[in-house]
Structure 1
């Protein structure tokens, strides 16, 4: 292994001497960092290179030692490594400053490269780092030999692009007796907590950008026109971090989340981050794999995004949602109930008038009163008998049968109807549209909120934003209900206008539940709330705050969001912004589907047919009795008696 290392060493003719104990310092530091590979940019002699390489290899750290001059030609390849890589640089080399400037240009002064720069104390050498492209994620330790020990300094910058000054923190010491003694905390961002009022560039989304923008619009728990719920959650979370770490945002407002990557295209969140015009998004977006080539996402996700079609339950139609029957306890039900009572009363009056009982009063007024109270008693499920104050009581079998049928059917209809209503309200599914097929086959006209991701869905057939996977029903819905549909209103509508169309009936409006609730809660009455229904278009999907690709702030924000999640800040922000559509109180019942009460009406029809059969049999039996009595009278022999007088 030693001979292999020696073959890899590339030596410079102008050899420089390393500071004393540099090899021991390098071993202790990189073992502490836990790196698996160290690149030693060397200009020292072969002996010193061999000592450092052997010491690192003995600690299972792979080592390469290219010369400084040759590394300048292809530094990106020399320092290319997937995992965290250690870089040891002798600052006294002639080209050391050139190496640092080239690494700055290639963005190699980041968290993926742990730099250890050896150099004697020099203010001018340290000030050279001021002009380097380094940020808060930089991992650079400057080691200066002070006679019997090394002084270690941590160098970074909160934002070179924002013209922030170089930050220098005492990192600790190293000596032969005690080894490495770091004053830094275990995780570097605890020592970089205060950003000293750093200004970061943030981009957010507001539909129809207002004439005057105030940052409070993004985080206010109250509804702000044009600001989505996920934007408010993201703004509240980032506001907590701004207070904790002392930085602020310079806001840019766009109208869309996702844009094309070509230059001079419409400004959006993704392409502004891709062009490195912004540092972070003060909003969230649902991310698909192809967009990860443009931006990096921060996890855990800030919240979820969902959307629904809101509509009033149709009172006519086809299929599973047919709903043509009367609403319980409505004026129509009471009118039919009264009409049925009048018909039963008239029927009983006619039946009473057709009776031939001579002992029963024949006045029409008296018979109608008897019929009325008989029907009323049957409806109230009570007994009634027109008792006459005579020794002999007469009764009609027809009237008894009619009273029996009226009483039984009133009871059966009452029980069936009320039980159907109760069971439907408590257990059965409401007569609503449950699938995209039902929505496609319905008579509802679809309108959408004018929002970025909806425009992208409408303009890009084959883009399954709502499902998140290939779903041909989305294409069919777009084609049948949007592209080829006959329209009475424009497809894209503001929230206020879209909800008003829903109130009129015949329209289904697509928006987020949070947005819809702001209008529905203050404009819908109790009956409209009971008739309101919705169809889930996009199931709750995670949305993420975004930063530049390979952003120097990614690690910091990921660590910060995880801390906020552990402490409940993120869930608290979601609850502040969450909304629930006001439920139906239940005092105004919904209409009952005809099929759910069909058994009661079938039984009524059977009873009516049975009553006609019984009436026919009664008439035939009555005629048979009359004919039988007439035959007996005609065949009877007269009895003549003769009285003789004396």
Structure 2
């Protein structure tokens, strides 16, 4: 039950009706120590003091110009609930002279009140032989705890120290916070304000680290760069986690597993399982930041900026479009068609005019008409079609008007033909830019492959988003086909051949790209992300007392360039495009497909009309014979 005396004390203070005993220094000590903390504080006090002494404590804060203490609440022993939302402000003040105070401390220990962010101030300790009260021996005051002991050493002098242990069964350590005496009050010893910075030296304590190795031989090549494309994320961070342990002056113990850990039948396996069961402090192999893991592990930094993506060479433009139609814009095609139509009319009119002017007769003087364009639409169409295809013509117009029109026709169509051919050549060397999303990739002609890793197999097989699920079911593992999981080398070589999208860890895969690809082949690489995760993060177990130390250590390692060095040794950035202008592109059957299609249809039509002509000729011969036979009779 709470005992709030604030209003009573305020009235008594105003009336100045109370005189305090000069020997009651403890309220002043509590006030001075909390003021020296330099942080907003809400005091929860468990004290076996008289009401008058408690009033003195409240009055010391109410009469101070500082506003460090916003609230003082007195609670009974055994009451451990903290009914406030600002845990960082709470300071527990406990009188060690209270009977059965150990039980109260143990209950708070079970409630994790001796862990960050809570602060403790223990008073009433007068044993000069030890700086650690016996009541604390059963508590877990680990490096993240902030517990201050006020120890009376005689003659109104008090030593004020922090106490903590590096491990549960470890040795007690003290840190001098200051001292208090009657004449001078509290004197603070200048030390770093951050608890983690003061306790970075773990004095050889063993930190257990878990690493993920998917290949058994990787344990023999963690630092020699042999087979560095296998378990790369672990090999990159193995040296830096060792730097972290050295920075903390700790010793190390390794545990190796073959998976990062996933929830199977309600239980976490792999490295995540070790972190959840608190068997290790650090997960040495960075893992993906997922919503399922956020509540069970603590992520501290992202040491290695690498992601897994589909990488492929952009296919030729002809795989997505008809180059023979793409050479001109629609407006140019319409303009060209209008030009040809106008030239057709002009030539046809000029032909009619020439035949009428010269008095030619198509039914007579046939020898004189050889090489002369006849005024028939079919002949004019064949002439214009031949001119369009830059072919010669066995007929022409003899008059000056007709020759001028034909000259204009051939010159205009020559320029159109030249422009068309140049655009075809340019388009043959162009890559398609139509594949920009996963949906485009799904509906493309590309074949798929995935690097055979634990996390790729897990995320591909458990994908629920429609497009990603369809990619796995139709491209990666179609029904009746073995799932297309493969080695890094095999996947990159297939990607080099073209029309193949390979899902790989880009930092590792680009090393193989640099090894196998020609310089000109690196220019058309395209990336599309499949996994819905960000860069992998380094994780530690939840509620570890070394959390802030780990964060400080990893930041120092990054600031001093040690992490960047390891990343640059084993990871490659996306290769720069060089030599793309000199790339020679061979023409494939796909590029010529529309032309071959026209040739095929034209051949079929030619054979069809040839057969019709033969049948017509045979029919004519039969009818002629029958007519002659009837005349003879």
Distance in 2 of aligned mates of 1:538 and 1:557: 28
Distance in 1 of aligned mates of 2:466 and 2:305: 24
Correspondent of 1:43 among 40, 48, 52:
48
Alignment-derived partner of residue 308 in structure 1: 309
Q: Secondary structure at the residue paired with 1:132?
A: coil
Q: How big is each residue's C-alpha offset from its partner over 1:104-147, in whole Å with a ceiling of 9 and x where there is no partner?
A: 33332212111111211344672744553232111111111122
Q: Secondary structure at the residue paired with 1:216?
A: coil
Are 1:96 and 2:101 counterparts?
A: yes
Are 1:245 and 2:240 counterparts?
A: no
Query: Cα gap change, 1:57/1:575 in structure 2, threshold over 3 Å: closer, same or farther?
Result: farther
Q: How big is each residue's C-alpha offset from its partner over 1:477-498, in whole Å with a ceiling of 9 and x where there is no partner?
A: 23432454563x4332232333
Q: How big is each residue's C-alpha offset from its partner over 1:504-535, in whole Å with a ceiling of 9 and x where there is no partner?
A: 55542211112212333333455765676544
Are 1:552 and 2:554 counterparts?
A: no
Alignment-derived partner of residue 276 in structure 2: 274
Structure 2 unaligned spans of 5+: 11-20, 326-402, 596-633
Asked if 2 retains the 8 angstrom alpha-carbon contact of 1:307 and 1:537, the reply is yes
Number of residues of Structure 1 aligned to a counterpart in Structure 2: 493
Asked if 2 retains the 8 angstrom alpha-carbon contact of 1:142 and 1:152, the reply is yes
Query: Cα gap change, 1:255/1:76 in structure 2, threshold over 3 Å: closer, same or farther?
Result: farther
Are 1:136 and 2:117 counterparts?
A: no
Asked if 1 retains the 8 angstrom alpha-carbon contact of 2:519 and 2:578, the reply is yes
Alignment-derived partner of residue 21 in structure 1: 25
Asked if 1 retains the 8 angstrom alpha-carbon contact of 2:271 and 2:283, the reply is yes
Q: Secondary structure at the residue paired with 2:244?
A: helix
Structure 1 unaligned spans of 5+: 8-16, 326-397, 463-470, 602-646
Are 1:495 and 2:488 counterparts?
A: yes
What is the deviation of 1:151? 0.9
Are 1:164 and 2:159 counterparts?
A: no
Distance in 2 of aligned mates of 1:547 and 1:121: 39
Q: Secondary structure at the residue paired with 1:143?
A: strand
Are 1:105 and 2:116 counterparts?
A: no
Distance in 2 of aligned mates of 1:80 and 1:540: 32
Distance in 2 of aligned mates of 1:317 and 1:417: 15
Q: How big is each residue's C-alpha offset from its partner over 1:71-96, in whole Å with a ceiling of 9 and x where there is no partner?
A: 2xx42557986334101112222223
What is the deviation of 1:23? 1.0
Alignment-derived partner of residue 583 in structure 2: 588
Distance in 2 of aligned mates of 1:531 and 1:77: 61
Alignment-derived partner of residue 398 in structure 2: none
Alignment-derived partner of residue 120 in structure 1: 126
Query: Cα gap change, 1:528/1:570 in structure 2, threshold over 3 Å: closer, same or farther?
Result: closer
Distance in 2 of aligned mates of 1:292 and 1:477: 28
- After superposing the two structures, state which structure 1 stretch, 128-137 or 30-39, moved more: 128-137
Are 1:149 and 2:157 counterparts?
A: yes
Q: Secondary structure at the residue paired with 1:156?
A: strand
Query: Cα gap change, 1:155/1:420 in structure 2, threshold over 3 Å: closer, same or farther?
Result: farther
Correspondent of 1:31 among 35, 48, 65:
35
Distance in 2 of aligned mates of 1:431 and 1:414: 26
Q: Secondary structure at the residue paired with 1:256?
A: coil
Asked if 2 retains the 8 angstrom alpha-carbon contact of 1:424 and 1:430, the reply is no
TM-score, normalised with respect to structure 2: 0.66
Distance in 2 of aligned mates of 1:130 and 1:214: 45
Q: Secondary structure at the residue paired with 1:94?
A: coil
1:197-212 to 2 correspondence within 5 Å? 197-210=204-217, 212=219
Distance in 2 of aligned mates of 1:437 and 1:186: 54
Q: Secondary structure at the residue paired with 1:83?
A: helix
Alignment-derived partner of residue 436 in structure 2: 434
Are 1:175 and 2:197 counterparts?
A: no
What is the deviation of 1:256? 2.7
Alignment-derived partner of residue 515 in structure 1: 508
Asked if 1 retains the 8 angstrom alpha-carbon contact of 2:228 and 2:235, the reply is no
Alignment-derived partner of residue 608 in structure 1: none
Q: How big is each residue's C-alpha offset from its partner over 1:420-442, in whole Å with a ceiling of 9 and x where there is no partner?
A: 767997xx765673332332123
Distance in 1 of aligned mates of 2:22 and 2:147: 19
TM-score, normalised with respect to structure 1: 0.65
1:186-205 to 2 correspondence within 5 Å? 186-205=193-212
Alignment-derived partner of residue 297 in structure 2: 295
What is the deviation of 1:166? 2.0
Asked if 2 retains the 8 angstrom alpha-carbon contact of 1:202 and 1:252, the reply is yes
Q: Secondary structure at the residue paired with 2:307?
A: strand
Distance in 2 of aligned mates of 1:570 and 1:4: 58
Q: Secondary structure at the residue paired with 2:530?
A: strand
Query: Cα gap change, 1:480/1:595 in structure 2, threshold over 3 Å: closer, same or farther?
Result: closer
Distance in 2 of aligned mates of 1:550 and 1:580: 36
Alignment-derived partner of residue 353 in structure 2: none
1:219-258 to 2 correspondence within 5 Å? 224-229=228-233, 231-258=234-261
Are 1:216 and 2:247 counterparts?
A: no
Alignment-derived partner of residue 58 in structure 2: 53
Q: How big is each residue's C-alpha offset from its partner over 1:150-198, in whole Å with a ceiling of 9 and x where there is no partner?
A: 11222122232xx432222223212342423224222223322322122
Q: How big is each residue's C-alpha offset from its partner over 1:325-368, in whole Å with a ceiling of 9 and x where there is no partner?
A: 9xxxxxxxxxxxxxxxxxxxxxxxxxxxxxxxxxxxxxxxxxxx
Query: Cα gap change, 1:506/1:203 in structure 2, threshold over 3 Å: closer, same or farther?
Result: same
Distance in 2 of aligned mates of 1:593 and 1:441: 22
Asked if 2 retains the 8 angstrom alpha-carbon contact of 1:172 and 1:184, the reply is no
Asked if 1 retains the 8 angstrom alpha-carbon contact of 2:307 and 2:534, the reply is yes
Distance in 1 of aligned mates of 2:498 and 2:427: 27
Distance in 2 of aligned mates of 1:405 and 1:317: 30
Are 1:473 and 2:474 counterparts?
A: no
What is the deviation of 1:314? 4.8
Distance in 1 of aligned mates of 2:324 and 2:585: 12
Distance in 1 of aligned mates of 2:513 and 2:313: 12
Query: Cα gap change, 1:294/1:228 in structure 2, threshold over 3 Å: closer, same or farther?
Result: same
Q: Secondary structure at the residue paired with 2:192?
A: coil
